[in-house]
Amino acid sequence: MNNIAHPLLNTTQHIHWYWLSAALLGVLAWLSLSSGAVGWDWKMPILWLLPESMTSDVQPLHISVVTQIRLPRLVLAILIGAVLASSGAATQALCRNPLADPSLMGITGGAAMAAVAIIALSAKVSFIHEAMVTPAAFIGAISVTALIHKVASHQGQVQITTLLLAGVAINAMAMAVIGLFSFFADDSALRLMTYWQMGSLGGASWSAMQYGAPLIIVSIGALFVRRKKINALMLGELEARHLGINVTKLKTEIVIIVALGVGGAVALAGMIGFVGLLVPHVARLLVGPDLRRMLPLSMLLGCVLMLIADWISRLVVAPSELPIGIVTALFGSPFFVYQLLKQKRGQHA
Amino acid sequence: MLSCQQLSIQRGQKCILQAVNFTLNSGEFVVLLGENGAGKSTLLSAICGDIPFSGNICFANKAIAAHNEQALATKRAVLLQNNRVNFAFSAAQLIAMGRYPYHESENEQAAVVNTLIAQLNLAKLAPRDITELSGGEFQRVQFARCLAQLNAHKSTTKGKLMLLDEPTSALDMHHQHLTLSKAKAFAQQGNTVVAVLHDLNLTSLYADRVLLLNQGRLCHDGKPQEVLQHSVLQPIYKTDMQITTHPNYQIPMIFSEPERGVTHA
């Protein structure tokens, strides 16, 4: 038989989508570095490349705004966008349903609940310190992921209705606990908690990132090396087992990967919902569900979405800013309803 | 090749399989028969190692659990019943998943997939989204995936085990024959195929050996001519039937009759 790759198996076929989204990401990154509260200057991202005659009008303050405020914020947006998208794709593979999402399933809520508890208690209990927020968010996320998967799976099948209902319950619980802590919290803790609940990139700084960023990078890397195995898991647990995959181990690994990613993201930027649902869906539409193609594109598109949402959140109420979680939820929730309708139609067809 | 000794499976209070013994040889196309709930699928699950059991199951002279999972995946493939996938892989991609246990280049993988697509007349289905296939079309693609997993595109492949749980349940007559002929040819190369079937005439046409399960016990094990007899089948299926001989092949053909009280014009 011929040795030419089947067009449907060819992984280089969709390469233009990567270039397109990478280019878009570049433009958005440029925009985000050159604009902000102190003004707009297109030169900012490439200042060090330009001859001195062109940079003489730039004030030192402006430069430090770029390196200390805009650049960490850009890096944070990219990390969060990539990890939320990849965690979404991982959760969907774990549950074998494209409707699964860390925020809908309560994983984000669990992480935020733990983070808020640490913030609130750190003001009152001496041995609890704010540096514990990141590990706490991870523990919150991993407990919820493991619990939810346990509750919703039966003989290797995951029931999406049970999964989403369990998510509703856990989210309600998270909101109640966050509400309880805010009731007793002082003013400064209260502001932090509100920020946690709605999600924001406003707290971006190099020093804050040192805790959460490693978690995010490990999560993305670990998912990436398992993409082929996870593809097989999407066929079904038994099918994957019959293909020689240790499914119990793989599922545990995915739970940890998702918890690392979501825990890290929540610790750095609070609860940002729907990115994990929206982005993998678009990536799947463009290049199909094969993670070897879909995962890199999801990450790129996740960054693009975060930068657009961040840009909107800074623009609409400038000079103040809207929490970014509000922006993503406004986009995401109608999309989720649309997906539900579509899946329902599919079942009746 | 594959042997089960004193295989028993208990689920709660219920005994699903009771002291089942058999040894299958390479080259055999074995059909598992039995009424609904007789334990056929459970027996396949036990052979796959998916459920706990008591007794021994040996494959290639080694307890099934003692095999390395990855190595076993190149020797044993399983087609399960009605499992739908929620992700829009193309049929070609699904077939290619069967190549997971092999470490090969994308071109080598594509060559295997292309060969199987040609052998099984799947060219029209190959580019289609599997979530949009009909039950029968999906079954054919899954069967192709199992063949890909066992290197079945090569006529020199030997010593493999293929387990098929109702592989023809959703297929039209043409594709029933296409699927079973391919499975039979694969067995004749020196492999073992175990298929759960409900169609007694297809069993008669294709099986080298029939295992008949009744309420968790293996009650008959023999050639189709020996097992497909009125005295054996009637008590199990509790259906009136007439058994004649196929005009061309001298094998039993079973004609069942409607329940009493139903008249036919």
Does B131 lie at the interface with A, CB-CB under 8 angstroms?
yes
Averaged pLDDT score across all residues of chain A: 85
Q: Taking CA atoms, what residue in B is nearest to A290?
A: B89
A244/B111 touch (CB, cutoff 8 Å), yes or no:
no
Q: Tell me the shortest Cα–Cα distance from A41 to chain B, in angstroms.
A: 45
Option in A243, A244, A284 nearest B88 (CB): A284
Q: In this complex, how many residue pairs, one in chain A and one in chain B, have their CB atoms less than 8 Å apart?
A: 102
Closest residue in chain B to residue A95, using alpha carbons only: B86
Lowest mean pLDDT segment, chosen from A66-80, A146-160, B151-165: A146-160
Nearest residue on chain A to B96, alpha-carbon basis:
A9
Give A6's pLDDT tier (boundaries 50, 70, 90).
Answer: low
pLDDT at A2 over 60: no
Beta carbons of A118 and A133 less than 8 angstroms apart: yes
How does pLDDT run across A204-239, given as a tens digit for each residue?
888 888 888 999 999 999 999 999 999 999 999 899
Inform me whether the C-beta atom of residue B101 falls under 8 Å from chain A C-beta atoms. yes
Tell whether A4 is within 8 A of chain B (Cβ).
yes
Burial class (CB in 10 A: 0-12, 13-18, 19+), B11: exposed
Q: What is the pTM of this model?
A: 0.88
Q: What is the dihedral of CA A314, A315, A316, A320, to 10 degrees?
A: 50
Query: Which residues of chain B have a CB within 8 Å of the CB of A3?
Result: 107, 110-111
3 state DSSP class of B46: helix
Please indicate if any CB of chain A lies within 8 Å of the CB of B86.
yes
Q: What are B33's strand-pairing partners?
A: B212
How far from chain centre, in Å, is Cα A109? Answer: 13
Please tell me the predicted confidence (pLDDT) of residue A348.
45
Chain A 269-298, CB below 8 Å of chain B: which residues?
284, 288-290
Binning pLDDT at 50, 70 and 90, where does residue B155 land?
Answer: confident
Burial of B214-243, coded b for 16+ CB within 10 Å and e otherwise, reads: bebebbbbeebeebbeeebbeebbeeeeeb
Q: Inter-chain contact A231–B97, Cβ cutoff 8 Å? A: yes
B93 touches chain A (CB under 8 A): yes
Q: Does B74 touch chain A (CB under 8 A)?
A: yes
CB A8 to CB B50 under 8 A? no
B11, B84, B86, B164, best to mutate vs chain A, most A CBs in 10 Å:
B86
pLDDT 10s digits, A117-127: 888 888 778 78
Q: Please provide residue B38's backbone torsions phi and psi, each rounded to the nearest 5 degrees.
A: -75, -15
Tens digit of each residue's pLDDT (9 = 90 or more) over B87-138: 999 999 999 999 999 989 888 999 999 999 999 999 999 999 999 999 999 9
How distant is the Cα of A244 from the closest Cα of chain B, in angstroms?
A: 4
Answer yes or no: is pLDDT of A265 > 70: yes
Residues of B in contact with A7 (CB under 8 A): 127
**Model pLDDT for residues A28-39, shown as the tens digit of each residue:** 999 888 887 777
Are A238 and B85 in contact (CB < 8 Å)?
no
What's the CATH superfamily of A61-348? ABC transporter involved in vitamin B12 uptake, BtuC (1.10.3470.10)
Cα–Cα distance for residue pair B120/B122, rounded to 1 Å: 5
Q: Which pair of tokens denotes residue A261? A: 């990613």
